[in-house]
Amino acid sequence: MKSGRPLPEAGLASSLGQSGRLIRGRSAPPIAICVRDLVVGFGGQPIMQGLDLDVYKGEVLGVVGGSGTGKSVLTRTILGLLRKQSGRIEIFGADLDSVSAGEYDSIERRIGVMFQGGALFSGLTVKQNVQVPMREHLQLSARLADDLAMLKIQLVGLDLDAADKFPSELSGGMIKRAALARALALDPELVFLDEPTSGLDPIGAAEFDALIATLQKTLGLTVFMVTHDLDSLYAICDRIAALAEGKVIAAGPIEAMLASEHPWLRSYFHGKRARQFDPSVAPRVGGVPAGNGRAYPRDAP
């Protein structure tokens, strides 16, 4: 299926490389998610008003915006959990409005989701939570489902004895890891993370960033990450999309965000809580350069 028209990205993002030099003729990278002219609202209150967004395959896209701007609504609408009023959403080139139930199921199997706050089922153990997507989509023996769940639990750095604990017995960091293990249950290509580091202390957040970065690289994931965490943006995001006024007001690498004159971006990236961006200074994720070193161009299309 054909993707929608190409998105005119934030000026700097489309025309400047990291060195600030003009880059011409670079072909656009493959697109995992394409959103065009999306309109979403509740009871007459508009939330998305003609929103356009591309997510490239293999990138970590950070989605930022003020509280209540619709970051979670956008996530849930892309996932088909909330109804849109109009617009077009394609995932892996397929328009979710026109796919068959079978095609929808096979797309869903390629996607993992970590909802805001983790959203673990409180009556299920960690292992059972991780097995929920497996039960929905795969026909596995109990033994294989157990083995796979234990693998995922280890993958996210949880001790094996966490498997039989209930969410109420876990620390905040363990809940995030368990939710990530569930998001990875089906070996997805595309992962949605809604505020993955919120509520964690700075060390816990840095460890979680490092985990996401490592998993992204080793598993070749495309990551759509809603975050308030400036450190995460600097440390692991290839590009950032900023939401305001029901639209993506800018999308591009951090340098483009820092150069933007938009008042919200200026106060977010240059305000009191912001820090000076110095590309020569290592980000907080040990050994993981800030969004660099992946196969797709950060400054495309």
Which residues form the interface with ligand ADP (CB under 6 A)? 42, 47, 65, 67-73
Work out how close the CB of 115 gets to ligand ADP at its nearest, in angstroms, rounded to a whole number: 11
Residue 18, token pair as written in the block: 């990291």
18 binds, among Mg ion, ligand ADP, none (CB under 5 to 8 A by kind): none
Work out how close the CB of 243 gets to Mg ion at its nearest, in angstroms, rounded to a whole number: 11
Neighbours of 83 (CB within 10 A): 8
Work out how close the CB of 73 gets to Mg ion at its nearest, in angstroms, rounded to a whole number: 8
248 binds, among ligand ADP, Mg ion, none (CB under 5 to 8 A by kind): none
68 binds, among Mg ion, ligand ADP, none (CB under 5 to 8 A by kind): ligand ADP
Cα 54 to Cα 52: distance, rounded to the nearest angstrom = 7
CA quadruple 176, 182, 185, 190: dihedral sign:
negative
Number of residues that bind Mg ion (CB under 5 A): 3
> Which residues partner with 91 through β-bridges?
33, 94
Residue from 15, 18, 49, 72 binding Mg ion (CB under 5 A) = 72
Work out how close the CB of 224 gets to ligand ADP at its nearest, in angstroms, rounded to a whole number: 13
Residue number, 40 or 210, with CB nearest to ligand ADP: 40
DSSP 8-class letter at 222: E
Strands (DSSP E) contained in the chain are 31-42, 45-56, 60-65, 86-91, 94-95, 111-114, 190-194, 222-226, 239-244, 247-252
Which distant-in-sequence residues (6+ apart) come within 8 Å of 105 by Cβ? Answer: 137
Q: Mark the segment that binds Mg ion (CB under 5 A) among 35-43, 72-80, 124-132, 172-180.
A: 72-80
Work out how close the CB of 49 gets to ligand ADP at its nearest, in angstroms, rounded to a whole number: 12
Output the 3-class SS for 178-204.
Answer: HHHHHHCCCCCCEEEEECCCCCCCHHH
Instruction: Give φ, ψ of 204 to 5 degrees.
Output: -60, -40
Residue number, 119 or 150, with CB nearest to Mg ion: 119
Residue number, 42 or 161, with CB nearest to ligand ADP: 42
141 binds, among Mg ion, ligand ADP, none (CB under 5 to 8 A by kind): none
Under the criterion CB under 5 A, does residue 49 sit at the interface with Mg ion?
A: no
- Of 102-121, which residues contact Mg ion (CB under 5 A)? 116
Instruction: Give φ, ψ of 154 to 5 degrees.
Output: -70, -35
By the criterion CB under 5 A, which residues form the site for Mg ion?
71-72, 116
